[in-house]
Amino acid sequence: MPMKKGSKEVLAKAEEYLAEIQALAVKPFTIMEVCGTHTVAIAKNALRELLPPTVRLISGPGCPVCVTDSSDIDRYLHLAAQPNVITTTFGDMIRVPGSDKNLQALKAEGADVRVVYSTQDALEIAKKNPEKDVVFLGVGFETTTPTVAVSLDIAKREGINNYSVLSMHKVVPPVLRLLAEDKELEVDAFLDPGHVCAIIGTKPIEFMAEEFGKPGVVTGFEALDILEAVVMLLRQRQQGRSEIEIQYRRVAKVEGNPHAQMIVQKVFEPVDASWRGMGLIPKSGLGIREEYASWDAARKFSLPVFHSPETPGCQCGEVLKGRIYPTQCALFGKRCTPLKPVGPCMVSSEGSCAAYYRYFQRS
């Protein structure tokens, strides 16, 4: 669907999709949006309110900051407190609470923590500060890993030895499998993440439709994209199909982006990873390969493994698994607000709790 449409045209198309949804939604249908950017778009455009009561949208584990385990947060806070270290990170991470503080508090205490907009910025900081160790906090899904992989490759090639990455990267297919196997989770279909699938393609997630009978549609991020994807999923149900289809055709292809896949494979390897609220998921993380060990912050600083408890009272894990709406957390909007977040789901711009707080409140 073209992006540039007049508002009348958009409204007409939205009405057309909503009418078809109304006609097809003859019995209950629950769809999980896997990606945090979808969660925000759905909340911002009040799409839940526009859909008939038979179509339920629930949020999933698609916010990379939110799924970062408490132990990993305490681990990078430990690293950021080391003398001679400059910690570089995307802005969302600054206010994520660890067991007793966050990066912002550490910075106020004198730690050198800098927000960057790209790994290129982090590399530049490393070049300008040869006497310091510059660490980039690698948090993200398949969408962000290619640029981090490129930065490590450049660092190795150019001998930028004071640059390293603490990899907490995660990949989506294993967590989809976990969700599909969860007998308590009543989800009929998935809005699959458009940007992730632009990198990996659809093959790595086809098992969802084939093995588990859970259809999916790789979806873009405009309101019309999401409505069209809902229509596509309902049509699949009506026609008795279970497939992974692409709605976000202007960006995502079946084969994904082979160049991005290649650089990620060159630098990273699959490792088991802990997800907030979901525990250890086999091969769901990306570790830095031996060839790049000198640029791996975990090895370089011999970082200990932390075993931190979940933040008391915070139900981010249940939110990320689609078991509860954010408003069902007892702390939502009371002890936990974007100004005073208790858990990461209220901090991140892609967090479900932050999206619900900003745009509406519904249980």
Report the interface residues with ligand SF4, using CB under 6 A.
Answer: 314-316, 319, 326, 329, 331-332, 336, 342-343, 345-346, 353
**Looking at the DSSP assignment, which residues form a beta bridge with residue 279?**
275
From the CB of 185, what's the least distance to ligand SF4, in Å?
A: 17
Distance CA 87, CA 303 (A): 15
- Which amino acid, 336? C
3-state secondary structure of 173: helix
- Closer Cβ to ligand SF4, 96 or 198, answer by number: 96
- Closer Cβ to ligand SF4, 195 or 276, answer by number: 276
From the CB of 8, what's the least distance to ligand SF4, in Å?
A: 38
Shortest-Cβ-distance residue relative to ligand SF4 = 343
Helix axes of 258-267 and 145-158: crossing angle, nearest 10 degrees: 60
From the CB of 350, what's the least distance to ligand SF4, in Å?
A: 13
- Closer Cβ to ligand SF4, 275 or 332, answer by number: 332
Long-range contacts of 203-208 (CB under 8 A, 24+ apart): 203/254, 203/255, 203/256, 204/173, 205/172, 205/173, 205/176, 205/244, 206/244, 207/173, 207/177, 208/176, 208/177, 208/180, 208/244
- Closer Cβ to ligand SF4, 128 or 362, answer by number: 362
From the CB of 306, what's the least distance to ligand SF4, in Å?
A: 19
From the CB of 192, what's the least distance to ligand SF4, in Å?
A: 24
Q: Are 36 and 221 in contact (CB under 8 A)?
A: no
From the CB of 163, what's the least distance to ligand SF4, in Å?
A: 32
Cβ-count burial of 351 within 10 angstroms (0-12 exposed, 13-18 middle, 19+ buried)? buried
Distance CA 77, CA 63 (A): 20
- Closer Cβ to ligand SF4, 77 or 336, answer by number: 336
DSSP state of 332: B
Q: Pull the structure tokens for residue 342.
A: 């208790």
From the CB of 277, what's the least distance to ligand SF4, in Å?
A: 9
- Closer Cβ to ligand SF4, 163 or 332, answer by number: 332
- Closer Cβ to ligand SF4, 76 or 357, answer by number: 357
Q: Are 168 and 268 in contact (CB under 8 A)?
A: no
